[in-house]
Structure 1
Amino acid sequence: MTTQKIAIAVIGTLDTKLPEYLYLRSQILQREPSIDVILIDAGRSQVAHEAITIPQAEVLKASGYQNGDDSLQSLPRGEVIKTMIKGAISVTKELRDNGKIQGIIGLGGSGGTSIAAAVMRELPLTFPKLIVSTVASSDTSSYVGETDITMMYSVVDIAGLNEVLKAVIDNAAAAIVGMAQVYAARTLQGRTGRERKGIGITMFGVTTQVVDVARRWLDGQGFEVYVFHATGAGGRAMERLVREGRLDAVLDLTTTELADELVGGVFSAGEHRLTAAARVGIPQIVSVGALDMVNFGPKDTVPAQFQDRNLFEHNPSVTLMRTTPQECEELGNRLARRLWENCADPEVIEVWLPLKGISAIAVKGQAFYDEDADRALFAAIKKELEGSGIKTVEVDTDINDPTWSEDIARRLTNLLDVESRTLKGTT
């Protein structure tokens, strides 16, 4: 059986944590002596040790910093970290792009974690990434983002080796070795690509019914379906997979993250949401699922200025707030503008509008039913898309009615066929 040489990048601030990193290196090699450990120094000051593969000076040079190590010492800590992040990203991406590493691991407090995480966020999804960190038991969203970084809590500070820290590092070493071996086997077998066309779908609890029907139908047609929970990170993850070329079409049924971005809810996906598929030019059908709501945490965390609004406790941890007609008008403008401003091919983009309700609780008789708000949303979208070449489709049903679920999924596959015929005609 053919085997592949495996290498693991170990990245960190060796001027402050060299003993801990040397221990991590030894544990990786103890589990698999044939592995190459590429030790990368992203610290503030230069350190000399025979185990260091890529020294700090090389990382600093890769950052483009021109003033040398002596000048670096006078910079504020935050600027040093930004500089070393830039160099470490350059060095590590080159290693990965050339197939020279099959995994990456780091150790750190907040500073070391910031460096390691920033590097890992630039690496492709499903490439093995692990950080042992003192901040792993808190909110790690700023470190992980929309990626698949694995974070392991160090329990004690990474400041001197002791029984607990050694055991944690032992576990981490075993984990990254196993992850790298599986990744190497997968790439060796040629299983990094997709055997089926991939379709991304966005979903929320209040749009689950339409997504489930569409997902099952697409799966039955031989597509690989990726469902993204529209909680901010979910939307960003889908956008990232589109940019990485890992999705062939998007059924963006649940665009609720735009409402959180506009009003200040907890599930914003940021200003780049709803741009990737349009820019890449892959087929997409967009709808307005859950734009009737802004998401907050427990009811007592809803900002004071919203306490008199129409609030709905989805569960003890999630409170929803109904969007107003004015907010819906702006949401319609934003949704439409992001599509046509980033549009590479309007022929493969459509916006479908379910006229009788845009979520499970926005239909007649439910807490968020508001005809004026929905009309403002639909009117803004149609007006903004006039002359853009992007088609709008109105359906006389609510978003979760199963009678239209297969129709919208089937239409997306038709758009994929159109794109395929167009591409063949241009080759």
Structure 2
Amino acid sequence: MHAWPASEVPALPGKGRDLQIHDTATQGTITLAPGPVARIYVCGITPYDATHIGHAATYNAFDLVQRVWLDTKRQVVYVQNVTDVDDPLLERALRDNQDWTELAERETALFREDMTALRMLPPQHYIGAVEAIPGIVPLVERLRDAGAAYELDGDVYFSVESDPNFGKVSNLDAEAMRLLSAERGGDPDRAGKKNPLDPMLWMAARPGEPSWDGGSLGRGRPGWHIECVAIALDHLGMTFDIQGGGSDLAFPHHEMGASHAQVLTGEFPMAKAYVHAGMVALHGEKMSKSKGNLVFVSALRRAGVDPAAIRLALLSHHYRADWEWTDEVLAEAVARLERWRAAVSRPDGIPADDLVEEVRGALSDDLNAPAALAVVDRWVERQIATDGDDESAPGLVSRTVDALLGVAL
């Protein structure tokens, strides 16, 4: 599966700072200092309702991670999946009387268009669940053969008790896990499971649903969590730098995935940091497909909204915060974009060397994008109010905003 084209990232003078970021597993801020190559895995969409503002906010956060790392002169290996076969996708296709593969392909294409418009840097490896199945099957077989998985009416389940580190990503108690499992795609009440929290690794073929050859597992399709594990281990190995996604993925998805990988490899942890973006609400409720309260990037673009303004609206909220999308949020972003563009369009201006370092400092401090915007705002205010004589300043500000914030002025 191909990703989307990359926008050019301007080089800035000097060198960026190592990233300090909040780690869900330790509930503290850690400093990530990768070697010459930084490694990140971000969970992708299930392609049936792309791309809403909640999606965009999540991918914007991890785009900032890449930009901070690139500014430190590191290479970045970024991997993202597409869950192009799963119950919600099949249910939507059935509801709308569509072929599920056509629905997935169309929504994935729309997602690519939106990511391109928002200038999100693409992953080097963009992998669909379907194309990953040949690598998933042997992992499930290994877990089963090692006694870490068991069969139940043809389905194969992972035993969470096989991982002594299970629970160390989300740090939730058993009852909270059980409630979230039921809410987020698990089946804790299924009779015959060894532990209510055990997640499915391989679903035996169901009538009328797609299935693939699973070797000794029989025909079926993969569970949700093992999909990302297979892709991550194949392209990143263990103990990569960041496992990322929305905060609703901490449990069960990232918790279960970590356990799968740790049992398979005997190594701990799967990722050095588990990083989660907050949820975006509309009209007082979290944006969700089930509620239907979604604002789509493509709809905003069709209405003539500049994608740079959409991106500034996302950047105006800290990535870990839960926040609400409103007309006022967008209007403020549009006005900010106009001010910034007017300021950098002048032939000369006030010096901006301090601005570069201040933006770097804000982003290296747990991706504090609102603080970075405030730095640029202050320069813009002085630039508009003062006659400067630094001919290089407007261009330096424009390149800084482009390289570190992904906004083209």
TM-score when scaled to structure 1?
0.23
Larger Rg: 1
TM-score when scaled to structure 2?
0.24
| Structure with more contact order per residue of length (Cα contacts < 8 Å, sep ≥ 6) | 2
